[in-house]
Amino acid sequence: MSRMVSFHRMQDGTREDYQLLDESEREYARALPDNVLAALAKLDHSLEGYPLSRLGHSLQAATRARRDGADDELVAAALIHDIGDELAPYNHAEIAAGILRPYVRPEVAWIVEQHGLFQNYYYVHHFGGDRNARDKYREHPWYQACKDFCANWDQCSFDPGYPTEPLAAFEPLVRTIFSRAAHDPRYVKNPP
């Protein structure tokens, strides 16, 4: 049997208990790259109606980002921007941003968190919605970056004829980004 904490209520925990849990969490987090890759693979069997699976869409967005010369953090963002669709179809962007946030600069996490609102520009008017709702962020320093993310990599990545790289081509990137120390100041810079 593995070691176990001594408490049944967190308020009763000792320093040794919490050191044990910290060690356990760090060991568990080492599997994060594998877990992200597995979650992406699950997107290959989701959400009918599109000409590509969610995985195909995500791979195409990441391929476009990479071919446009985006940095690794933005390519990773393009790859996992819809990873939350399986469990949170109405707030998937927040889930994806939450996964990325400890490992990328704040700009990238913000772009992913807001991409759902910015994507509305392309279709929400068909349902009577305000396609310009994203303009509430017009003065935000990352507004244009999010607008470009959606225009150049997200909204256009449903093309079954586009030559898209396979998931294996992005595996080293996923392993690098999600093996970083969470909130490492070398990678995570303070927002403006």
pLDDT tens readout for residues 107-149: 999 999 999 999 999 999 999 999 999 999 999 999 999 999 9
Among 21-35, 95-109, 132-146, whose mean pLDDT is lowest?
21-35
Alpha carbon distances (Å) from 27 to 21, 30, 98 = 10, 5, 20
At residue 103, the 3 state secondary structure works out as coil
Residue 192: per-residue pLDDT = 56
| Each residue's pLDDT tens digit, 43-66 | 998 678 999 999 999 999 999 999
**How confident is the model at residue 184, as a pLDDT?**
80
Query: Using 50, 70 and 90 to split pLDDT, how confident is the model at 86?
Result: confident
Structure tokens given for 61: 């967005």
What is the rounded CA–CA span in Å between residue 108 and residue 119? Answer: 16
Backbone angles phi, psi at 67, to 5 degrees: -65, -25
The amino acid that residue 140 corresponds to is: H
Range 164-170 contact pairs with CB under 8 angstroms and sequence separation of 24 or more: 164/56, 164/59, 164/60, 164/63, 165/59, 165/62, 165/63, 165/66, 166/59, 167/37, 167/40, 167/41, 167/55, 167/59, 170/59, 170/62, 170/75, 170/76, 170/79
**What is the value of pTM for the model shown?**
0.92
Q: How far apart are CA 55 and CA 86, in angstroms?
A: 11
- What domains can be seen in the chain, in order of their start residue? 31-177 (1.10.3210.10)
